[in-house]
Amino acid sequence: MKSQKKYSLVIDTTGLRCPLPLLKVQKNINSLRKNHEALIITDDPMAEIDLKHFCLNNNYLLKEIKNNQNGDAQFFLIKKDQ
Protein backbone atom coordinates (compact mmCIF):
# COMPACT_ATOMS: atom_id res chain seq x y z
CA MET A 1 0.00 0.00 0.00
CA LYS A 2 1.02 3.61 -0.45
CA SER A 3 2.28 5.62 2.46
CA GLN A 4 -0.60 6.55 4.77
CA LYS A 5 0.23 10.24 4.23
CA LYS A 6 -1.19 10.03 0.69
CA TYR A 7 -4.74 9.31 1.83
CA SER A 8 -7.32 11.93 2.70
CA LEU A 9 -8.52 9.80 5.59
CA VAL A 10 -7.11 6.81 7.50
CA ILE A 11 -9.43 4.80 9.73
CA ASP A 12 -7.73 2.17 11.87
CA THR A 13 -10.17 -0.39 13.27
CA THR A 14 -7.53 -2.89 14.36
CA GLY A 15 -8.66 -4.85 17.40
CA LEU A 16 -12.36 -4.21 16.83
CA ARG A 17 -14.79 -6.97 15.87
CA CYS A 18 -18.00 -6.91 13.88
CA PRO A 19 -19.99 -4.69 13.85
CA LEU A 20 -17.64 -2.11 15.41
CA PRO A 21 -15.27 -1.66 12.40
CA LEU A 22 -18.19 -0.83 10.11
CA LEU A 23 -19.74 1.50 12.67
CA LYS A 24 -16.42 3.35 13.03
CA VAL A 25 -16.14 3.68 9.24
CA GLN A 26 -19.73 4.94 8.96
CA LYS A 27 -19.09 7.54 11.65
CA ASN A 28 -15.80 8.86 10.24
CA ILE A 29 -16.07 8.53 6.46
CA ASN A 30 -18.58 11.39 6.16
CA SER A 31 -15.67 13.84 6.14
CA LEU A 32 -14.30 12.26 2.94
CA ARG A 33 -14.80 14.57 -0.04
CA LYS A 34 -15.75 13.54 -3.58
CA ASN A 35 -12.92 11.77 -5.47
CA HIS A 36 -10.82 11.50 -2.30
CA GLU A 37 -9.60 8.21 -0.89
CA ALA A 38 -9.75 6.63 2.54
CA LEU A 39 -7.57 3.83 3.85
CA ILE A 40 -9.32 1.44 6.22
CA ILE A 41 -7.08 -0.82 8.32
CA THR A 42 -8.70 -3.80 10.03
CA ASP A 43 -8.07 -7.27 11.36
CA ASP A 44 -11.75 -8.25 11.54
CA PRO A 45 -12.45 -11.28 9.29
CA MET A 46 -15.98 -9.97 8.53
CA ALA A 47 -14.80 -6.53 7.40
CA GLU A 48 -14.52 -7.43 3.73
CA ILE A 49 -18.17 -8.49 3.52
CA ASP A 50 -19.36 -5.50 5.56
CA LEU A 51 -17.31 -2.91 3.67
CA LYS A 52 -18.34 -4.27 0.26
CA HIS A 53 -22.02 -3.91 1.19
CA PHE A 54 -21.43 -0.49 2.72
CA CYS A 55 -19.72 0.82 -0.42
CA LEU A 56 -22.34 -0.65 -2.73
CA ASN A 57 -25.18 0.99 -0.82
CA ASN A 58 -23.56 4.36 -0.06
CA ASN A 59 -21.90 5.69 -3.24
CA TYR A 60 -18.37 4.64 -2.37
CA LEU A 61 -16.03 2.64 -4.57
CA LEU A 62 -14.00 -0.16 -3.00
CA LYS A 63 -10.88 0.21 -5.14
CA GLU A 64 -8.47 -2.23 -3.54
CA ILE A 65 -8.13 -4.86 -0.82
CA LYS A 66 -4.71 -5.99 0.36
CA ASN A 67 -3.42 -8.19 3.15
CA ASN A 68 -0.32 -7.32 5.11
CA GLN A 69 2.68 -9.66 4.90
CA ASN A 70 1.69 -11.58 8.03
CA GLY A 71 -1.89 -11.99 6.83
CA ASP A 72 -3.25 -10.66 10.11
CA ALA A 73 -4.57 -7.33 8.80
CA GLN A 74 -6.31 -6.04 5.71
CA PHE A 75 -6.16 -2.67 3.99
CA PHE A 76 -9.16 -1.33 2.10
CA LEU A 77 -8.88 1.60 -0.28
CA ILE A 78 -12.24 3.37 -0.60
CA LYS A 79 -13.02 6.31 -2.86
CA LYS A 80 -16.02 8.59 -2.54
CA ASP A 81 -17.86 8.51 -5.87
CA GLN A 82 -20.35 11.33 -5.47
The CATH number given to whatever domain includes residue 25 is: 3.30.110.40
Contacts of 2 (CB under 8 A, 6+ apart): none
Indicate whether 82 pLDDT > 80: no
- pTM, two decimals, is 0.88
The DSSP bridge partners found for residue 11 are: 40
Domain extent, residue 57, equals: 4-80
Peptide bond before 19: cis, by omega within 30 degrees of 0? yes
Going by their DSSP bridges, the two strands 60-67 and 74-80 should be labelled as: antiparallel
Name the nearest CA neighbour of 62 among 34, 27, 38.
38
Please give the tally of structural domains in the chain. Answer: 1
- % of the chain at pLDDT higher than 70: 94
Decide if 29 contacts 55 (C-beta within 8 A): no
